[in-house]
Amino acid sequence: MANAPAEYPELSMDLRSHSFAGLLRVIGPGAIVASVTIGSGETIFASRGGAIFGYSLLWCFLLSAFFKGVQVYSGSRFITLTGRHPLESWAELPGPRGWFVWFIAVMTIVWMPFWLGVGLPKMLGEFTNWVVGYPQAADAEKFLHCGRLWATLYIVVAILFTWVQSFGFLERAQTAIVALLLLCLLIAAVVSRPDLSALLAGLALPRKPEYEPWVFDIREFKARGPWVEMATYLGVIGGGTQDYIGYVGMLREKAWGMLGWHGGGPDALPPQTISQDPENVARGRSWLRAPLIDVSVSFTSVFIFSLCFAVLGATVLYPRHEVPSGFQLLTLQAGYLVRGGHPPAVQTLLGIVYRTGIFFALFGTIYGAYELYTRTSRECLVAAIPRLRSVPLRQFRLGTLLWCGIGGLALLWLVPEKDSVKLVTPAALVGSSLTCGLWCFAMLWSDAVHVPQNLQMRLLLRLAVFLAGVALSAVALIGIVEYVHGLLT
């Protein structure tokens, strides 16, 4: 019968097998989210955290990975159980129709060109200057201009790759080289002999972020408070709302749970009711293993990468009072691998590994972000304007490329501010950290209203989602207040 309650499809072979190889095949969109954040989140901001605060802020990276993992799982759990993107549910929040969806959509889409203009491409352009040996000290303006030219090239190439979808070789090369880089850095973190007691204390004991006196000698931090710095980490590490909306949208292609009802597909309408039959409820809970595995692997990887870079920042850069900033966001970290005591041949080899690894990590992040943001744009606009559901994904891709490409290029060339970190700070505070917290509160409402009672979150998960919402929102609000105060004084 057409109006009969929907039942979950049979579990996939990979989930039924319970084998390690089968579970690995489940991993999909979560790996994309992890790879998209490596470019800026771990290599730059985790390194800054270690360089500025030593081991004292490691708890921030641990809680960021945990709370954001909980946040993303709450969304992927919801779409797996109901076949609806959380945004579609939030359109029914009390008040004017779609008010919260429009708020989240605007706070998400408006910041995307910042990440793909004055953010990642600009950082990669200035890193390329360093790789090719362009002298920064000779003429800072020419250095900045040349970096913008490189950034423009990377934006254009990433847009072309995204449009024609011919990234296969580069994607495989990126995976191999970035994996080699991370392996080398993980080994470097271990052999750098970190202070284990300080490391464990930094992970276990949350402390208020405070600058040491030498940090104020760096011009950037005279008007940048420690809460702004920490809130930026919280917004960047592991990604933000602009990434997670797209991630949950990508699950449509995996057809997990109710997404596979009647064949699934991006245009498929979710069922109106779901069968409460005990067998169907048990099958629905079994389907939740898929998003749980995907999210767990993704954010465990994010935490390991963050911890690795933060520890190296604390052991290598912190004692030297060196902070990745300005035009040196990615150059100081070369010292993690290339040490003075190494033979020249080893220094050369590790230098090549670092340069090529960082290049592929950042360019892969830029490319992956365009594809991820295509899904973000689609989900935001379809939830706000339901008649757009039938619009092909390719048209959303074109719109996203134009918005992020043209907007990013305009910001890159027209905004006079030179510091990339300052330029992306508002996007991290508002478009990532704050909206991540609001996501958690909205998910609690969606779970209570739109998920069958027998499949709703259990108490421990509800508590974790609530705490994630409180932490992400509170730190973001404190950072925003301090940021605005810094602008006014």
Q: Which pLDDT does position 250 carry in this prediction?
A: 86
Q: Which CATH architecture has domain 13-488?
A: Up-down Bundle (1.20)
Q: Which pLDDT does position 167 carry in this prediction?
A: 46
The alpha carbons of the chain give a radius of gyration, in whole angstroms, of: 22
Q: Which residue has the higher pLDDT, 411 or 19?
A: 411
Q: 10 Å Cβ neighbour count for 98?
A: 18
Token pair 């973190």 is found at 189
Task: Give the separation between CA 398 and CA 382, rounded to whole angstroms.
Answer: 16
Give which of 189, 238, 176, 296 is closest to 38, Cα–Cα: 238
Tokens in use for 102? 């429009």
Give which of 51, 9, 28, 23 is closest to 264, Cα–Cα: 9
Give the predicted TM-score (pTM) of the model: 0.91
- pLDDT class for 20, splitting at 50, 70, 90? low
Q: Which pLDDT does position 255 carry in this prediction?
A: 84
Q: Which pLDDT does position 166 carry in this prediction?
A: 53
Q: Which pLDDT does position 102 carry in this prediction?
A: 95
Give which of 88, 75, 112 is closest to 384, Cα–Cα: 88
Task: Give the separation between CA 64 and CA 472, rounded to whole angstroms.
Answer: 8
Alpha helix stretches (DSSP H) within 209-343: 226-236, 241-250, 278-287, 289-312
What would the 3-class secondary structure string for 420-459 be?
A: HHHHHHHHHHHHHHHHHHHHHHHHHHHHHHHCCHHHCCCH
CB 380 within 8 A of CB 138: no
Task: Judge residue 335's burial from the number of C-beta atoms within 10 Å of its C-beta, 0-12 exposed, 13-18 middle, 19 or more buried.
Answer: middle
- Which of 141-155, 190-204, 336-350 has the least mean pLDDT? 336-350
Phi, psi of 9 (to 5 degrees): -65, 165
Task: Give the separation between CA 153 and CA 172, rounded to whole angstroms.
Answer: 21
Task: Give the separation between CA 376 and CA 358, rounded to whole angstroms.
Answer: 26
CB 455 within 8 A of CB 285: yes
By percentage, how much of the chain surpasses pLDDT 70?
Answer: 89
Whether 202 has a pLDDT exceeding 70, the answer reads yes
Domain range annotation of the chain? 13-488
